[in-house]
Amino acid sequence: MDSVPFDEGIQYNPRMNHGSTRSLILGTAGHIDHGKTSLVRALTGIDCDRLPEEKARGITIDIGFAQLDLPGFKLGVVDVPGHERFIRNMLAGATGFDLALLVVAADDSIMPQTREHLEILRLLGLRHGVIALTKCDMVDSTTREVVEMEVRDLVQGTFLHDAPIIHTAATTGMGLPELREALTSICHQRILQPHATDPGWFRMAIDRSFVVQGHGTVVTGTVQSGTLRIGDEVAWLPTGQSVRIRAIHRHDKPAEEVSAGMRAALNLPGVRHDEIARGQELATPDMLVPARVLSLRVRALANAPRALRHRQQLRVHLGTLECLATLSLLDCDRVAPGEEGLAQLFLETPATATWGQAVVLRDASGRTTLGGGKIIQPAARKIRRRHIEDLEHLEKQAGDDSETRCRMACWFAGFAGVSAGALVRDTGLQADAAAAWIASGRLSGHLVEMSAGGTRRVVLEAERVTELEERLLATADKLHNKFPLLGHHERQKVESGLDYLNDQPLVASVLDRLIARKALVGPMGRVGLPDFKPRLTAAQRRLKEQIVQRYKESAFQPPEPEVLRAVAGTNANHLKEILNVCEAEGWIVPFSDEQWLHAARESEMRALVVKNLTERALKGTGMTVADIRDLLGTTRKFAVPLCEYLDRIGITRREGDLRWLAHPTQN
């Protein structure tokens, strides 16, 4: 790895003090042939056009990298192409810019990509920059003054409205000292006014990859947050695979770590170069989630040639990713130039994003920038158009108040629950603040942590838990009304009231909460409302007692249905319900469909079989169905399902035609 030319490595973290030098990312912008690459070469001595095709054609095609030393600062320079056909590459390179250098040729003035690049920088949220007039040696002073006035008019109302405009000429060195001085000044402004807070977890969008002989795949990008060290494990997204970092380079030199704002080159062991694509990301595990639906506030450019329309296909640029998507406008049918709206993007390719991240929207052909926006929900569910409650909550989640954003994130998370990682991703909070918010919510009772099977835990809004509990109680009440003779019902029947959740462990946990506080009660896995009493008539109570007695007397040959119907007489229509009452109260035990044993006989059967099998085990023999039939004094009609029942409840195990004790030490 030491031989790899990592000319793009750059480091910046305003919270770290690397001696007396700080580092930032400077990105160029401007029309083709306005001298961006020549100006960077004059400033740094580095030619950013590295591809043979770029050198042959004399134009920049892909992003290039250089390093510029200024008093107190090291700038990593990202040089982007100016041709309209390569805007996609410009957008990939613009991810992570701290400062912008807008370049306008004095002999050409403002051109289409001058305007488009400026709009893109605005959409990406840039706040600091310098303007360079290039090729000033090719025009007279009057022309330079006219072009400067045109540029000043162009940047009115943008982050460059009061930026210095430096007259330069790369061939003669004109204005280069002044440009360096202006860049140094703007660096101080950027350091004094950081516009983003590092959330504390590592994230880097991949913009380039290559193979180093003997080392394997290397990827490069700008570290957007957090710190990464050699040996750390990261998630490779959207694949979700885990990758351990073998080596790190920055500034063409090995490094032990990289932090937020640095350009980095990372060696990924076990990853094939052809598996890497621009737009993928590396991040701290469990923080980013690949998604195909994003919610956002969208804005159409004021000078866009046409409005954004509902169901329009667009080309989305998010981080270093470019993919097609369908736009769903939630509160209108079109967003006119200069206007805003709430929307969702349905992506053709899974993407990873965070709250507040900028997105740029171009037409499907990729020829025109139409608008952009800020992500509100980076992993969204489909929201119904014009649904007032959803839109009100989405509007709140887009706001500046972090407490409100957290509450809205919980509301939209629904029954899936929230985690500290999800809140960081969905609200823009730092990791420690998100964890503290959840802890505070649990303490206040606003949030409830519940088991959802095994070691899985989910944190839900208390209102959501109450909603689930009320639905289960309502289901129990409906069952009581439908079966008035039953005091208790099988858990599964009560839990069926939450079938729409498709999360049985969570449903069971909610039911357990109700049982724990005695809102539901019942024996042997059955539950019912505590104040409900089965409404049996005197005749039905007598019939119940007769049925229980019949099962007790019948031992291991339970009464046939016709016998029970004869006993029931005029109450034959309620026979099934009364049998269910007998089962619910624990008098009889089902051993197969529509077949029961008296509870005492069922216990007696277990004891007989266990005793007999224990004795036979000493002789090395098991029992056949016929043996068990004879032991119980029943018929094969009942012996077979009784044997299967004993297998099912773990008393016996079957090997061929023989039954053995499932647990030989059992007695």
Task: Kindly report, residue by residue over 379-415, the tens digit of the pLDDT.
Answer: 999 999 988 999 999 999 999 999 999 999 999 988 8
Nearest CA among 276, 293, 270, 264 for reference residue 239: 276
> Tell me, what DSSP letter sits at residue 504?
H
Residues 208 and 264 in one domain: yes
Q: Which domain holds residue 497?
A: 463-527
On average, the pLDDT of the chain sits at: 88
Alpha carbon distance 321, 97 (integer Å) = 16
Q: State what percent of residues in the chain have pLDDT above 90.
A: 60
Examine the pLDDT at 17 and tell me if it is beyond 80.
no
* Bridge partners, residue 375, by sequence: 296
Residues 100 and 214 in one domain: no
Instruction: Collect all residues with Cβ–Cβ distance below 8 Å to 269 and sequence separation of at least 6.
Output: 216, 243, 244, 246
The pairing of strands 457-461 and 321-329 is unpaired
pLDDT tens for 31-72 read 988 988 899 999 988 877 666 665 555 556 677 788 898 998
pLDDT tens for 604-616 read 999 999 999 999 9
Q: Token pair for residue 622?
A: 């098991």
pLDDT tens for 246-299 read 999 987 789 999 887 778 899 999 899 889 999 999 999 989 999 999 999 999
Cβ–Cβ under 8 Å, residues 36 and 77: no
Alpha carbon distance 399, 357 (integer Å) = 14
Is residue 98, in this structure, part of any structural domain at all? yes
Phi and psi at 10, nearest 5°, equal -145, 150
- What count of other Cβ atoms lies within 10 Å of the Cβ of residue 21? 13
**Residue 176's domain is classified under what CATH number?**
3.40.50.300
Q: Which long-range contacts (CB under 8 A, 24 or more apart) does 53-60 make?
A: 59/32, 59/33, 59/83, 60/32, 60/36, 60/86
> Tell me, what DSSP letter sits at residue 623?
B
Q: End of a domain among 497, 527, 557? A: 527
Number of domains in the chain: 4
At position 45, the amino acid (one-letter code) is: G
Nearest CA among 91, 82, 172 for reference residue 136: 172
Q: End of a domain among 260, 283, 306? A: 283
* Bridge partners, residue 67, by sequence: 76
Residues 168 and 218 in one domain: no
Cβ–Cβ under 8 Å, residues 272 and 217: yes
Residues 140 and 26 in one domain: yes
Is residue 393, in this structure, part of any structural domain at all? no
Q: Token pair for residue 408?
A: 């809205």
Is residue 469, in this structure, part of any structural domain at all? yes
Is residue 576, in this structure, part of any structural domain at all? no
**Residue 255's domain is classified under what CATH number?**
2.40.30.10
Among 70-74, 437-441, 453-457, 658-662, the least confident range: 453-457
Is residue 441, in this structure, part of any structural domain at all? no
Residues 151 and 226 in one domain: no
The string of DSSP letters for 421-459 reads HHHHHHH---HHHHHHHHHHHHHHTSEEEEE-STT-EEE
Residues 63 and 188 in one domain: yes
Residues 123 and 27 in one domain: yes
Q: For tokens 């590396």, what's the residue? A: 282
Residues 104 and 238 in one domain: no
